[in-house]
């Protein structure tokens, strides 16, 4: 029997995660907390095998959350799940002591894989982050450090207009393209840069010192 604690400030997210956990083989006891302080109180009161932790919730939102949990229960496994871009944040949380990192928009099956991996003592990161690590330790990181270098001139134009907050239909009008074509460019940009939304795209551009027109 495994004791699992879900810490997230959104009730619908806690409910959905509970359903995923309860669908896994074996007996699972699931407890939930809506604030980080509530999660800490529960961790101080009883032992848990796994904490599924949203890093952006009341009372938390930084690496100190991992330290605070491990201080109270050194043996607890921690799976961070977040809306933040994994490429930008996963490794920092793994270094801080988390056992896995998964984005909230991941498919249910990936959540199940991540939970099983962490519960069995493994670390869990996505394929994209694994490739980032491999590049770092094989000396190939320089070729992958700045993903914006692989964007085509047209993709850069679309990215710059996305950065201005323009809707796709307006971008299509400005560039004299079909709406479906602009949508395809947006998808390609996200895939090449490794993000899932415009905010993450701009954060990554800032990290790599890529300037976009205001």
Instruction: Tell whether the model's pLDDT for residue 123 goes beyond 60.
Output: yes
Q: What number does CATH give the domain 146-207?
A: 1.10.10.10
More confident residue, 207 or 43: 43
The residue extents of the domains of the chain are 2-134, 146-207
Q: If you average pLDDT over residues 127-131, what whole number do you get? A: 73
Average pLDDT on 197-212 reads: 79
Instruction: Please say if the pLDDT value at position 201 is more than 60.
Output: yes
- Most trustworthy range by pLDDT among 80-89, 142-151, 179-188: 179-188
The predicted structure's pLDDT at residue 88: 63
End-to-end CA distance of the chain: 54
pLDDT greater than 50 at residue 142: no
Paired tokens of 54: 């949203």
pLDDT digits (tens, 9 = 90+) for 6-49: 999 999 999 999 999 999 988 899 999 999 999 999 999 999 99
- The answer to whether 39 and 14 are in contact (CB under 8 A) is no
CATH 3.40.50.2300 corresponds to the domain 2-134? yes
- Stretch 138-164: mean pLDDT, rounded? 75
Write down the pLDDT at residue 29.
Answer: 95
* Rounded mean pLDDT, 73-81: 95
Distance CA 116, CA 137 (A): 27
- Output phi, psi for 31, to 5 deg: -115, 150
Residue with tokens 């950065």: 163
Give the tens place of pLDDT for each residue, 156-172.
889 989 988 899 999 99
What pLDDT score does 162 carry?
92
* pLDDT winner (highest mean) among 87-101, 110-124, 130-144, 200-214: 110-124
- Please, what is the average pLDDT of the chain? 86
Specify the pLDDT at position 143. Answer: 46
Q: Is it the case that residue 85 has pLDDT exceeding 80? A: no
pTM of the model: 0.63
Q: What angle do CA 61, 62, 64 make, to 5 degrees?
A: 125
Does residue 78 register a pLDDT over 70?
yes
Q: What are the C-alpha distances in Å from 96 to residues 62, 111, 134?
A: 10, 21, 19
DSSP output for 160-187: HHHHTT--HHHHHHHHT--HHHHHHHHH
Question: Could you tell me the CA-to-CA distances from 125 to 44, 78, 102, 202 in Å, in that order?
Answer: 28, 12, 7, 23
pLDDT at position 187 over 90: yes
């Amino acid at each position: 029997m495994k004791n699992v604690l879900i810490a997230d400030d959104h009730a619908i997210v806690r409910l959905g995660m509970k359903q995923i956990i309860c669908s896994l083989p074996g007996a699972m006891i699931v407890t939930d907390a809506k604030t980080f302080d509530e999660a800490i109180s529960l961790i101080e009161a009883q032992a848990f095998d796994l904490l599924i932790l949203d890093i952006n919730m009341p009372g938390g939102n930084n690496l100190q959350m991992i330290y605070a949990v491990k201080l109270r229960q050194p043996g607890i496994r921690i799976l961070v799940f977040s809306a933040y871009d994994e490429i930008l944040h996963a490794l920092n949380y793994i270094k801080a002591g988390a056992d896995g990192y998964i984005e909230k928009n991941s498919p249910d099956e990936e959540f199940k894989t991540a939970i099983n991996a962490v519960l069995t003592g493994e670390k869990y990161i996505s394929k994209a982050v694994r490739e980032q690590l491999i590049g770092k330790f094989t000396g190939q990181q320089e070729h992958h450090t700045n993903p914006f270098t692989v964007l085509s001139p047209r993709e850069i134009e679309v990215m710059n207009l996305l950065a201005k907050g323009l809707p796709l239909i307006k971008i299509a009008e400005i560039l004299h393209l079909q709406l479906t074509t602009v949508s395809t460019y947006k998808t390609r940009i996200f895939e090449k840069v490794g993000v899932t939304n415009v905010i993450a795209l701009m954060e990554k551009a800032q990290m790599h010192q890529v300037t976009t027109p205001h």
